[in-house]
Amino acid sequence: LDRMPPYQGGGEMIESVSFEKTVFEHLPFKFEAGTPDYVATHGLATAIDYINSIGIDNISRHEQELTKYAMQKMQEIDGMRIFGTADHKDAVVSFLVGDIHHLDMGTLLDRLGIAVRTGHHCAQPLMIRLGIQGTVRASFAMYNTTEEIDALVEGIKRVSKMF
């Protein structure tokens, strides 16, 4: 690292500059070009404080409750296939309904203002193993509500009627 030239240039990485020569700072500062991103680090610290004020266990519990609620409600939909039903799964539900292509479902849900992800989700070998092209995936977080899940379920029912 001492022999390597810096790959970027900017403030804070230079000890001295003259017309004859530039002397770089000692490691690791030699590779720290420009002003440190103090705005992002402050934002991260604020986000961590916020999460700590709520409590990571409370967030986890809320997400688990949302996931359980979503899976119960979604299983009431005709033709619903949910992929991944472990008891303590992450707050995501991957699904297909009947023969509706995942992209069609996702696009029409989007038109209804419901954001989901579609495709093979960087798990194409799993999709091949399951004999499907992809799934629709709904993800939940600490800021989601059961009312939003109800809207998702109603949206899926509405789209299903189109096919």
Segment 105-146, tens digit of pLDDT = 999 999 999 999 999 999 999 999 999 999 999 999 999 999
| Predicted structure pTM score | 0.79
Confidence of residue 87 (pLDDT cuts 50, 70, 90): confident
Residue 158, domain extent: 56-162
Are the C-beta atoms of 33 and 8 separated by less than 8 Å?
yes
pLDDT band, residue 45 (cuts 50/70/90)? very high
- Residues assigned a catalytic role: 122
Confidence (pLDDT) at 137:
98
The tally of domains found in the chain comes to: 1
CA 153 to chain centre: 21
- Do the domain assignments include residue 35? no
Whole-angstrom CA distances from 25 to 10, 15, 19, 43, 124 are 12, 5, 17, 28, 46
Q: Which of 149, 151, 152 is nearest to 69 (CA)?
A: 149
Domain for residue 25, yes or no?
A: no
Mean pLDDT of 84-106: 95
Residues pairing with 81 in the sheet: 96
